[in-house]
Amino acid sequence: MAGQPRLFDLPDAPEPWELAAEADLLTAEIVLPLPTPTTFHYLVPDALRDLIRPGQRVKVPFGRGDQLKVGFVVAVGSPPPAARRLKSIDALIDREPLIAGDMLELTKWISERYLGSWGQVLDSVIPAGVKKQAGTREIRCFQLAEGALEKAASLKLPARQRAVLEVLQEADGPVPVDQLEAAAQCGTSPIHALRDKKLIVPVRQRRSTMTEEYTPAARTADLILNPDQQTALDAILEPLQAPRHETILLHGVTGSGKTEIYIRAIREVVSYGRQAIVLVPEISLTPQTIRRFGSRFSSLAVLHSHLSDAERHWHWQRIASGEVEVVIGARSAVFAPTPHLGIIVLDEEHETTFKQNATPRYHAREVARERARRAGVPLVLGSATPTLESFDRAQRGLDRLIEMPNRVEQRPLPPVVIVDTRNDALVPRGHSIGRALKHSIERSINEGGQVILFLNLRGYSPVLWCLKCNEGVKCPDCDISLTWHRDRGKLLCHSCDFEMPPPERCPSCGQPGQKYLGAGTQKLEQEVRSKFPDARIVRMDSDAMRKPGSHDEALERFRKGEIDILLGTQMIAKGLDFPNVTLVGVIDADSMLHQPDLRAAERTFQLIAQVAGRTGRGEKAGRVIVQTMSPDDAVIQLAAEHDYLGFAKRELAQRREHHAPPATNLARVIVRGPREDLVRAEIRKIVETLKETAKGRGDDLRILGPAPAPILRLKKLFRYHCQLSAPTIEQILEWWRAAEARFSLPDEVELTIDVDPLDLR
């Protein structure tokens, strides 16, 4: 048939008038919150040409069915080839960009660094309350029309109409109707008359409905710095005053006064008219922390997970306006929209909660490092027990290391007593508290001190064990033992929240005769109440602190001396400062030490050192008792001696020997699906593809696995994994990108890659 193109014929070249039309087109580059690295080009309709900017959200038709999806504009410009075949943007959602240009570029870096989707990163970074504009409403305003004053000069206007014009002339922008009426002392008639004369024009603006309920803390005077603190402060002020970017690792023992150094450095930043971001673990966002900063700065914004959407949006707007001096928050506060950033502080940098375990799997420390580098400002990392990654960087001269080996006012670090529970008369019989710890608790309470007991396992008993077939009762959806929660009368899965009443017979063999083994914080609480009936006791774990505000309330009662014994999980080990604590007891150091995890030794050392640091911070001396069945283990011995440098030297040597971070870089590939045979087959294909792709890229690219994940089944899905290892992170990223295009997975199989993984379960 004449004129009908045949299959595989090239399309006709565009006519000259078509090329001219294309040159006038405007296109937008869009990313969608989908697991794809692809960006998409769309035509910008004429009605949106002067309105559309990077950082805004738009609705676009996507896919064969042209289903409308929300995407982010990342660039606007001239059209690519064949632009006339592009689809058009359907609607513009935001009047103003939700994210500034520098932060847009940072999110692109995150997507590249952590092998994620740019659209998913943007969707995660911008809070839901900001996207929904929560806590705001549109109100009707008026402003002067163009040339209104010149036109009004030739008219004879009533006094009330002239009063309205005078109010609008003096205003910085559009004025809401109710405010205009009040300022001009008139009703609506003069306003409507001026509108009809086209001297004023109505506009709609979105205004916040939130009211500030912040009560400023009582101002406190500066503390006198000791020589170690002054040296550390001078080291931070140097790049601040230059100004230039530098990462400073502040390694100070617990109680060495790191927070005071942060405050002094931030005050210097504020004096320059700039802003500070202070990142702390979520659990450390206590009234004590907020009060400490609030007593030294007039404008504070606190970002945490318990904020409502409206509150988060309100804080976001205050930060973006530049009125906030200091932003304090957990991991996601690294994205706070500070227009005048002057410093980032990341306290307790060893905390694993700074790594996000859901897509996008970024680490706030590395994002903070990149953001500070781009802004040309210092990044301060603080910890008594730095991660080996940060310490190794400082040792190699990539970052600056500042040591603070002494506590303020020359207070000594508490002595640590290691108790071998194998020789204890009580612990082998099922008690959590041995004789030495029991006597020490009695002594501390009798002398008016307070006690902290640490056990990193919630619930009553972690295992319900069958004495016939030697099997534990496991979650039907996960390869994990169910934990007995006596207060709820249920066995619970700590991974998927499955719950069931305890079975009368073993699910594996059908026989009666089961026994609860081990102890969690609930059982510890029962034992403590039994042994110390007159003591005031509070348990602090995620079960006991479910009610909003209960965590802060318990800490405040402890601070006031209304609680004698505070027991709980790692949330009690986080940066708390209570001068009257004279005893800390670590119930079972072995539960952390013997985990199948390359960082088990590091985490054990950190937890013992951190929880030990909660005592001896006031005038009263403190002591620590560590109960363990491995008293001769080097990790526990070094923690008892407060010897971080000795531990780091030993552990780094072992990591180098075993090609483990920080001697190398890792990425973990996880494949999961409902059928184990299919998951196993797909991970093998992926590994083969990766091996082929690695050829010619050097001998230092290594693959560990594939193998079943330590927790084989999680939330009804089987999981297999492998690990990619290379000397630099850039090698891993290039290797993965070269292989990724060759993967083809069935719909029921999911693939996740975790760059710099912390959780290898």
**Which is it for strands 717-726 and 702-714: parallel, antiparallel or unpaired?**
antiparallel
Q: Do 344 and 277 meet the contact criterion of CB atoms below 8 Å apart?
A: yes
Which two three-digit tokens encode residue 491? 């066995």
Structure tokens at 397: 């001269």
Residue listed under structure tokens 């090698």: 731
- In this prediction, residues 443-450 reach a mean pLDDT of 94
CA distance 462 to 524: 12
Distance, CA of 251 to CA of 580 (rounded, Å): 25
Query: 320 or 597: whose pLDDT is higher?
Result: 320
494-519 mean pLDDT: 88
496 is in an annotated binding site: yes
Indicate whether 335 and 398 sit together in one domain: yes
Beta pairing partners, 716: none
**What does pTM read for this prediction?**
0.88
Domain with residue 190: its CATH number is 1.10.10.10
The enclosing domain of 33 has a CATH number of 3.40.1440.60
Could you tell me if residue 760 is inside a domain? no
- What is the residue-averaged pLDDT of the chain? 89
Q: Which amino acid is at 415?
A: P
Poorest-confidence range of 80-89, 270-279, 321-330?
80-89
Domain boundary among 656, 678, 709: 656
- Tell me the pLDDT band of 72, cut-offs 50, 70 and 90: very high
The answer to whether 630 touches 590, Cβ cutoff 8 Å, is yes
φ/ψ of 328, rounded to 5, equals -115, 130
Residue keyed to tokens 């710099």: 756
**CB-CB contact of 518 with 431 (8 Å):** no
Per-residue model confidence as pLDDT tens digits over 725-753? 999 999 999 999 999 989 989 999 999 99
The radius of gyration of the chain's CA atoms, rounded to the nearest angstrom, is 31
Establish if 366 belongs to a structural domain: yes
Residue 216 lies in a domain: no
Alpha-carbon torsion angle 661, 667, 673, 679, nearest 10: -90
Question: Does 68 fall in a domain?
Answer: yes
499 is a domain residue = no
Establish if 512 belongs to a structural domain. no
Pick the closest to residue 377 from 233, 240, 241, 234 (CA basis).
240
The answer, yes or no, to whether the previous bond of 360 is cis (omega within 30 of 0) is yes
User: Please, which pLDDT band fits residue 548 given cuts at 50, 70 and 90?
Assistant: confident
- Please say whether the beta carbons of 181 and 142 come within 8 A: no
Q: What is the mean pLDDT of residues 102-126?
A: 96
Instruction: Tell me if 722 is assigned to a ligand binding site.
Output: no
492 within domain boundaries: no
Is 639 within 8 Å of 625 (Cβ atoms)? no
Percent of the chain with pLDDT over 90: 63
Torsional sign, CA 182, 184, 185, 188: negative
> Is the distance from CB of 47 to CB of 26 less than 8 angstroms?
no
Domain end among 181, 208, 235? 208
111 and 238 share a domain? no
Q: Based on the fold, state whether residues 122 and 144 are members of the same structural domain.
A: no
319 and 443 in a single domain? The answer is no
Range of the domain at 523: 416-460+519-656
- Looking at the structure, tell me whether residues 244 and 320 fall in a common domain: yes
Assess whether 268 and 393 both reside in one domain: yes
Pairing of strands 400-404, 275-279: unpaired
pLDDT-based confidence at residue 468 (cuts at 50, 70, 90): confident
The number of domains in the chain is 5
Instruction: Out of 395, 410, 425, pick the residue that ends a domain.
Output: 410
* 186 carries a ligand binding annotation: no
Pairing mode of beta strands 416-420, 623-628:
parallel
Question: CA 16, 19, 22 angle in degrees (round to 5)?
Answer: 155
In this structure, what token pair is assigned to residue 324? 């906030």
145, 201 Cβ separation under 8 angstroms: yes
The answer to whether residues 269 and 240 touch, using CB atoms and an 8 Å cutoff, is yes
CATH at residue 245: 3.40.50.300
Q: What does DSSP assign to residue 409?
A: G
**How many residues does this entry show for the chain?**
761
The predicted pLDDT at position 367 comes to 98
CA distance 419 to 626: 6
- Same domain membership, residue 441 and residue 535: yes
Structure tokens belonging to residue 155: 């008219």
401-442 pLDDT, tens digit per residue, is 999 999 988 888 899 999 998 888 777 777 889 999 999 999
Same domain, 456 and 582: yes
User: Do 231 and 347 reside in the same domain of the chain?
Assistant: yes
332: Cβ contacts below 8 Å, ≥ 6 apart = 125, 127, 303, 364
User: For residue 318, which amino acid is it?
Assistant: R
Q: List phi, psi (to 5°) of 315.
A: -65, -40
Q: Helix, strand or coil for residue 243?
A: coil
Distance CA 493, CA 469 (A): 21
Q: Could you give the CA distance from residue 100 to residue 55 in angstroms, rounded to a whole number?
A: 6
Check residue 15 and give its pLDDT: 53
With a CB cutoff of 8 Å and minimum separation 6, the contacts of 420 are: 628, 629, 631
More confident residue, 226 or 218: 226
Note whether 112 and 180 are same-domain residues. Answer: no
The answer to whether position 475 is within a domain reads no
- Quickly state the pLDDT bin for 327 (edges 50, 70, 90): very high
Kindly state whether residues 353 and 236 are assigned to the same domain: yes
Would you say the C-alpha torsion 562, 563, 568, 573 has a positive or negative sign?
A: positive
